[in-house]
Amino acid sequence: MRRHGYGISVFGAIVLCCLFFCFPAQSDDNSVSIRVGYYEDGDYMSRGRSAEYIGFNIEFLQKLAKVGGMRYEMLDEGSWENAWHQLLEGHIDMIPAVFRTEEREKEVLFSNLPMGTLYVTLNVRVDDKRYGYEDFSSFQGMRVGIIRGSSDGERFQRYFADVEARYGFHDMYTGGFFPFPTLEEQWAYWSRFIYVNRYCDPPGPVYSDLLRSIKDKDYFVLTTNVDHCFQRAGFDKCRLFYTQGDYGLWQCSAPCHHQTYDNEEIVRQMVEAQGFRTTKKGLKVPDGITISMSVPSELIPRCPRCGRPMSMNLRADNTFVQDAGWYAAAERYDAFIRRHDHQPILYLELGVGMNTPGIIKYPFWQMTYQNPEATYVCINYGDAAAPKEIAERSVCIDGDIGDVLKRLK
């Protein structure tokens, strides 16, 4: 714990390090050959359309190779658990991006410097002794404050007040990870969530203001958002790449095949079966209707091939399906970047934090650095910055995106 004048910040620092288990062998050309354990790990490690290795871990290792004279042999271990076992058995030499713990330090060697550090904070009163770092049992029953008037808090109360009363969580994000007792209850929650976040009109004028500013220009949108607000606001869908999935798509939870399925019609049936009336502005409760918190069993989506329950097409783990549409969008984005290589271009970053910087932030920095004709603009409340190497060609605005866009009218 760290004490501040106004409260306690209960925080966790996750250090991502390279693991070395044994000294790698020396090759004949005097470069070091290292066996690296690979497993699908979202933005950290994955395979591209041509089966090439991509992701933050891969780029980090490539940088090390340039300065250290190393060569890598990537060995596909299938899963984190198997890669860890192979490392302990001496069949591979390294796993990148592993959480450092005292127990693991007894078995393997970590690099001296971390690949990165992630911080998560939970702030409580300085005189409240009930909560402690990593004492998660003390969080049970915790009352979590929501800023009055915030759109997220207001929308949660509007559509999920009954869910909050029964299950005890207080925001939509937490509900996405809640272990509902039955699939009927799980899909009652998810159908409401999907409808209000994917099929209702986009909240506020931010997207329409942005479109008004760029619609007559040669643009492309790369986003980690999964709500399709860009497309719903009128952006050309051929100029959009949703890297992390889509609330409007389902996939096999296994998955047994790499295909996704539109869910709008079934979602509408689910929310209407609970008693809601669907509108473009949201969900309405007709007079005299008591809302149900479950859906009929026959509406539970199941894979048409293997019969397993369907899941959301969201990049949460290594089961995420990158379908033909995903790869087509990726190719259009790559073609756009290639077409503007070493030409005047603006990399406009809006509200991108440090959760997945390897998708937008770091590539934008790198491409700005490599292209003398490029300009980098970052608009982010409380987190607008650029590396010193591109500072002279950067504009960083610490402010609300909506307010800034209004001034551009």
pLDDT at 25: 38
pLDDT at 122: 66
pLDDT at 67: 75
- Does residue 1 register a pLDDT over 60? no
CA distances from 241 to 103, 254, 351 (A): 41, 24, 17
The predicted model scores a pTM of: 0.66
CA distance 227 to 193: 10
Structure token digits, residue 345: 């271009």
Mean of pLDDT values over 368-393:
93
CA distances from 286 to 165, 276, 351 (A): 21, 7, 37
Segments of 239-388 assigned E as strands: 240-242, 245-252, 260-262, 277-279, 282-284, 310-314, 345-350, 374-379
Bigger pLDDT: 372 vs 30: 372
Instruction: Give the pLDDT confidence of 2-23 residue by residue, as tens digits.
Output: 333 333 334 334 445 554 433 3
Mean pLDDT comparison of 18-22, 164-168, 243-247, highest-scoring range: 243-247
Which among 160, 153, 214, 194 has a CA at the least distance from the CA of 301?
A: 194
Residue 344: asked if its preceding bond is cis (omega within 30°), the reply is no
Structure token digits, residue 31: 């470069």
Average pLDDT, the chain: 84
CA distance 245 to 250: 10
> Which residues partner with 249 through β-bridges?
262
* Residues with Cβ within 8 Å of residue 191, at least 6 apart in sequence: 267, 270, 271, 274, 295
Would you call 402 helix, strand, or coil by DSSP?
helix
Mean of pLDDT values over 229-251:
94
Instruction: Give the pLDDT confidence of 76-118 residue by residue, as tens digits.
Output: 988 888 888 889 989 999 888 887 778 888 888 888 777 766 6
Bigger pLDDT: 122 vs 283: 283
What confidence tier does 152 reach under pLDDT thresholds 50, 70, 90?
low
Which of 167-176, 223-232, 339-348, 380-389 is predicted least confidently? 167-176
pLDDT at 2: 31
pLDDT at 43: 73
Half-sphere exposure of 322 (CA within 13 A, CB side): 21
> Which residues partner with 33 through β-bridges?
71
- Does residue 49 register a pLDDT over 80? no
**Helices 183-194 and 151-167: angle between axes, nearest 10 degrees:** 170
The two counts, helices (H) then strands (E), for the chain are 12, 19
Instruction: Give the pLDDT confidence of 263-295 residue by residue, as tens digits.
Output: 999 999 999 999 999 998 899 999 999 999 999
User: What is the DSSP pairing of strand 277-279 with strand 260-262?
Assistant: unpaired
Instruction: Give the pLDDT confidence of 171-202 residue by residue, as tens digits.
Output: 888 888 888 999 999 999 999 999 999 998 76
**Regarding the domain delimited by 2-117, which CATH topology (the fold level of the hierarchy) does it fall under?**
D-Maltodextrin-Binding Protein; domain 2 (3.40.190)
pLDDT at 5: 30
pLDDT at 120: 55
Q: How many CB atoms lie within 10 A of CB 97?
A: 19
pLDDT at 50: 75
Residue ranges covered by each domain of the chain: 2-117, 151-203+244-314, 213-223+233-239+323-407
pLDDT at 119: 54
* Residues with Cβ within 8 Å of residue 399, at least 6 apart in sequence: 379, 381, 384
